[in-house]
Amino acid sequence: MDDLLSWFSSEHGVLDTAAMGLGDITGHGRGAYALRDIPEGHELFVIPRSLTLSTRTSSLPGLLGKKAWKEYKLDIGWAGLILCMMWEEAQGASSRWSGYLADLPSTFSTPMFWSSEELDELKGTAVVDKIGKDDAERDYREKLMPAAQSRPDLFPSEKLLQYYTLERYHVMGSRILSRSFTVLKWERESGADADAMVVADADTSLGSGMDVDMDANNPVDQDLDGTEDLDSDDEGDSEDPGDVAMVPMADMLNARFESENAKLFYEEHNLKMITTKAIKAGEQIWNTYGDPPNSDLLRRYGHVDYVPLRPPLSGMGNPADVVEVRADLVVAVTQDRGKAVGDAKERVEWWLEVTDDDTFVIQTDCEVPDELISLVLLLMLPAPEWEKAQRKEKLPKPKINVGLLPLIASVIETRLEEYQTTLEADEELLKCPLSVNKRNAVIVRLGEKYILASSLAKLRAMELVLREGGQGKKRKVSSSEDDKEQSKGKKSKS
Ligand SMILES: C[S@@+](CC[C@H](N)C(=O)[O-])C[C@H]1O[C@@H](n2cnc3c(N)ncnc32)[C@H](O)[C@@H]1O
Does 36 have pLDDT greater than 90? yes
Residues 284 and 326 in one domain: no
In this predicted structure, what is the pLDDT of residue 262? 98
Question: Ligand 1: does its nearest atom lie under 6 Å from the Cβ of 31?
Answer: yes
Residues 111 and 212 in one domain: yes
Mean per-residue pLDDT for 106-116? 96
- The pTM of the full predicted model, rounded to 2 decimals, is 0.88
Q: For residue 20, how far is its CA from the centre of ligand 1 (angstroms)?
A: 17
Q: Which residues contact 295 (CB under 8 A, 6 or more apart)?
A: 125, 126, 127, 130, 321, 322, 444, 448
HSE of 423, CA atoms in CB hemisphere, 13 A: 12
Residue to mutate, 182, 225, 298, 301, ligand 1, most ligand atoms under 8 Å from C-beta: 301
Rounded to an integer, what distance in angstroms lies between the CA atom of residue 340 and that of residue 221? 46
Q: For residue 136, how far is its CA from the centre of ligand 1 (angstroms)?
A: 22
Residues 172 and 39 in one domain: yes
Strand 254-255, strand 284-287: pairing = parallel
In this predicted structure, what is the pLDDT of residue 187? 77
Q: How many residues does the chain have?
A: 494
Q: How confident is the model at residue 219 (pLDDT cuts 50, 70, 90)?
A: very low
Q: How confident is the model at residue 94 (pLDDT cuts 50, 70, 90)?
A: very high
DSSP for residue 236: T
In this predicted structure, what is the pLDDT of residue 492? 38
In this predicted structure, what is the pLDDT of residue 485? 38
Q: For residue 254, how far is its CA from the centre of ligand 1 (angstroms)?
A: 5
Tell whether 311 is covered by a domain.
no
In this predicted structure, what is the pLDDT of residue 203? 59
Question: Ligand 1: does its nearest atom lie under 6 Å from the Cβ of 251?
Answer: yes
Residues 147 and 7 in one domain: yes
Query: Do 177 and 225 contact (CB within 8 A), yes or no?
Result: yes
Return mean pLDDT, the chain: 88
- Cis peptide, bond prior to residue 241, ω within 30 of zero: no
Helix, strand, coil content of the chain in percent (nearest 5): 45, 15, 40
In this predicted structure, what is the pLDDT of residue 1? 81
455's enclosing H/E stretch is helix 436-469
Residues 328 and 468 in one domain: yes
| Minimum CA distance residue for ligand 1 atom 13 | 28
Q: What is the separation of C-alpha 81 from the centre of its chain, rounded to a whole number of angstroms?
A: 19
Question: Ligand 1: does its nearest atom lie under 6 Å from the Cβ of 178?
Answer: yes
Tell whether 308 is covered by a domain.
no
Rg over CA atoms, the chain: 25
Task: Find the range with the poorest average confidence among 57-71, 146-160, 187-201, 226-240.
Answer: 226-240
Residues 332 and 389 in one domain: yes
Rounded to an integer, what distance in angstroms lies between the CA atom of residue 377 and that of residue 372? 9
Residues 275 and 407 in one domain: no
Tell whether 457 is covered by a domain.
yes
In this predicted structure, what is the pLDDT of residue 253? 98
Tell me the CATH number at 185: 3.90.1410.10
Tell whether 245 is covered by a domain.
yes
Q: Which amino acid is at 457?
A: A
In this predicted structure, what is the pLDDT of residue 215? 34
Does 144 have pLDDT greater than 60? yes
Tell whether 304 is covered by a domain.
no
Tell whether 307 is covered by a domain.
no
The neighbour count for residue 393, using CB atoms within 10 Å, is 9
Tell whether 306 is covered by a domain.
no
Question: Ligand 1: does its nearest atom lie under 6 Å from the Cβ of 303?
Answer: yes
Question: Ligand 1: does its nearest atom lie under 6 Å from the Cβ of 27?
Answer: yes
Query: Do 366 and 451 contact (CB within 8 A), yes or no?
Result: yes
Q: Which of 291, 310, 343 is the last residue of a domain?
A: 291
Mean per-residue pLDDT for 316-343? 97
Q: Could you report the predicted ipTM of this complex, rounded to two decimals?
A: 1.00
Reported as a single tens digit per residue, the pLDDT across 160-197 is 999 999 999 999 999 999 999 999 988 764 544 545 56
| 139-124-227 Cα angle (round to 5) | 40
Does 483 have pLDDT greater than 80? no
In this predicted structure, what is the pLDDT of residue 204? 44
Residues 356 and 446 in one domain: yes
Does 40 have pLDDT greater than 50? yes
Domain tally, the chain: 2
Residues 285 and 183 in one domain: yes
Reported as a single tens digit per residue, the pLDDT across 386-434 is 999 999 999 999 998 898 999 999 999 999 999 999 999 999 999 999 9
Mean per-residue pLDDT for 135-141? 94
Q: Among candidates 378, 432, 372, 444, which has minimal Cα distance to 408?
A: 372
Tell me the CATH number at 362: 3.90.1420.10
Most confident among 14-18, 204-208, 486-490 (mean pLDDT)? 14-18
Tell whether 305 is covered by a domain.
no
Question: Ligand 1: does its nearest atom lie under 6 Å from the Cβ of 415?
Answer: no
Rounded to an integer, what distance in angstroms lies between the CA atom of residue 30 and that of residue 264? 18
Residues 125 and 24 in one domain: yes
Question: Ligand 1: does its nearest atom lie under 6 Å from the Cβ of 1?
Answer: no
Rounded to an integer, what distance in angstroms lies between the CA atom of residue 183 and that of residue 389? 46
Q: For residue 59, how far is its CA from the centre of ligand 1 (angstroms)?
A: 29
Residues 243 and 366 in one domain: no
Residues 115 and 262 in one domain: yes
Tell me which residue range forms the domain holding 417. 322-486
Question: Ligand 1: does its nearest atom lie under 6 Å from the Cβ of 49?
Answer: no
What would the 3-class secondary structure string for 86-105 be? HHHHHCHHHCCCHHHHCCCC
